Each structure stands twice: as structure tokens, then as C-alpha cells.
């Protein structure tokens, strides 16, 4: 159920409010272009700057618009266990298919603290939980042994979005966890390598603008068409790199603004792309064939 190209969808803003109409259009765009799942309120969705009311509403809109056509994996993590439980219970109540749980940030809990946090969230709901390991943002790594213990002790902790950048760590997770434990890449540039070690897909940033190509890469790999998957990997790579020339989601939202997909509005402390990096982003979009040359003027 949780595989393929799963988009970490942006939250479009207009006049500092969630642009619900555009958000619904973006969801339809993804379903039309082969996206296998939607993650609202992830890092790319600027969850850290959403009020609780907005956070809950974005998840509600996603569930309403998707209408069970693809899984909705609601980002409901927090560095406060009580808040994570509250957000996750709401997501389950309104019909989300699963929850994405980022490791608590800023607190820097021990491995025991991480275990107890995730277990408390998992025990509070019946929906599947996918852990989200991104030490570069949270300051703490979820060790493979901790993930394995959670998988063994909590029947609804069924997978992990791995953004450690370490194929060694991901291989250890696969070796330690049950065979059906879902490994998802948390880095677009590592989607193909992660598939090769038994991963099931990616929770993607670049899929916000090129969903069909990300879905195609995974589909070709699953069909055994490795060379075709490699071709898509290398086609995507420069665009993926451009999505991270500044902190996500600054580049991808800027790109979507340039492509007329949504307003490029960000909330502080996210700030507009620098002029120098804007030119680099425009070049990457042009080279990919997404932006016409005359728009560069």
C-alpha cells in the first residue's frame, strides 16, 4: 500500500492563508500523473509554521480531495509527544490512511526516549505509522536497532522514511526488521539506490513538479527495466540538486511559482531564494524542459 512515488506536497499560501482551491488542484495533478500517495504537512508542507487549526485543516482537505484513490500519509509528528498524539488522533479520525512521524527535534532525546515517544504515538491510534528519520533537521538519529525494536513491539509501526543519506544504515534496517517492513527513501537522489537494496519507493520533493518522471523511475525498476530506471535517475539528478540549493521547501516552492502551479509564498523563517540561486534554479528548470527560454529574461 505504501510504495512508489509518494509526494511530500507543498502547502500553497495566498495572503498568508492556506490556498485551499490551489491545494485541491495540486492533489488532482498528482493523481493524474501517477503519484502513489500524498503526504500533507511534512517538511515540504511547512508544517512547522502551520497553526494546529491549519495543520488539521490541510489534512482534512487532503483526505476529502483524494477520496481514497491513493493513500494519505499525514505528517503529524512533533517534538512534544502529547502534541504528536493529538495531531495523529485527529488525522486518524478524519480518515488518513497512515501517519508520518518525524523524530522529535530540538529535544535531542536518547534512543530510549525515541522508543517511548514513538510507542506512545503508535499506541494512541490504529492507523499505520511510518517513522521519519532525518537527523540533519532533528539533531538525533533513530538507530536501526531502535527501529527494529519499535517494529517488533508496535504492530502498526510498519515502515520508515529514511533521510539519513546512509545506504549502510538503510541496509541494517532491512536486515534487522521484518521482511515486510517498508523502507522509503527520504532523498530524491537516492531513490534508485534505495530500491536496489529493497526499498519500496520515495517520499519525494521533486515529485511536486515532475510527478510522472519520479513515478516512472520506480515503475521501470519494478518491471526490471534497470537501464530505463537509470536513465530517469540521471535525467532527474540535476533538477533534484536544484531543489536543495537552499533549504527545502524554498527552491521547490519558487519553482512552482515560476511554473504557475501556485504562489511561491513562504512563511518566515523561510525566506525568498537569493538572486544567484534563482538563476541557477531557472537554468535547471530550462534544461529539464519545464521553463521556456524567454521566461529567463
* Residues classed as catalytic: 132, 161
**Dihedral sign, Cα of residue 114, residue 117, residue 123, residue 129:** negative
C-beta of residue 197 within 8 angstroms of C-beta of residue 171 = yes
Amino acid at each position: 500500500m505504501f510504495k512508489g512515488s509518494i509526494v511530500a506536497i507543498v502547502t500553497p499560501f495566498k495572503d498568508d492563508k492556506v490556498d485551499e482551491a490551489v491545494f485541491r488542484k495540486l492533489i488532482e495533478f498528482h493523481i493524474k500523473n501517477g503519484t502513489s500517495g500524498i503526504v500533507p504537512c511534512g517538511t515540504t508542507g511547512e508544517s512547522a509554521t502551520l497553526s494546529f487549526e491549519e495543520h488539521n485543516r490541510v489534512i482534512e482537505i487532503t483526505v476529502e480531495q483524494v477520496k481514497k484513490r491513493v493513500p494519505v500519509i499525514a505528517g503529524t509528528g512533533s517534538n512534544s509527544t502529547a502534541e504528536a498524539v493529538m495531531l495523529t488522533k485527529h488525522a486518524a479520525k478524519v480518515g488518513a490512511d497512515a501517519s508520518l512521524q518525524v523524530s522529535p527535534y530540538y529535544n535531542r532525546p536518547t534512543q530510549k526516549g525515541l522508543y517511548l515517544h514513538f510507542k506512545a504515538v503508535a499506541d494512541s491510534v490504529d492507523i499505520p505509522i511510518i517513522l521519519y528519520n532525518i537527523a540533519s533537521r532533528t539533531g538525533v538519529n533513530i538507530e536501526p536497532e531502535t527501529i527494529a525494536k519499535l517494529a517488533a513491539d508496535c504492530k502498526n509501526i510498519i515502515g520508515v522514511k529514511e533521510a539519513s543519506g546512509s545506504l549502510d544504515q538503510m541496509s541494517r534496517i532491512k536486515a534487522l526488521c521484518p521482511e515486510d517492513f517498508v523502507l522509503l527513501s527520504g532523498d530524491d537522489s537516492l531513490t534508485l539506490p534505495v530500491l536496489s537494496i529493497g526499498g519500496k519507493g520515495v517520499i519525494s520533493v521533486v515529485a511536486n513538479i515532475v510527478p510522472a518522471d519520479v513515478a516512472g523511475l520506480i515503475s521501470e525498476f519494478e518491471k526490471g527495466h534497470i537501464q530505463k530506471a537509470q536513465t530517469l535517475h540521471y535525467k532527474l539528478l540535476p533538477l533534484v540538486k536544484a531543489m536543495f540549493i537552499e533549504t527545502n521547501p524554498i527552491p521547490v516552492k519558487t519553482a512552482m511559482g515560476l511554473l504557475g502551479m501556485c504562489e511561491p509564498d513562504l512563511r518566515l523563517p523561510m525566506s525568498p531564494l537569493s538572486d544567484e540561486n534563482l538563476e541557477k534554479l531557472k537554468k535547471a528548470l530550462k534544461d529539464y524542459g519545464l521553463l521556456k527560454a524567454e521566461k529567463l529574461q
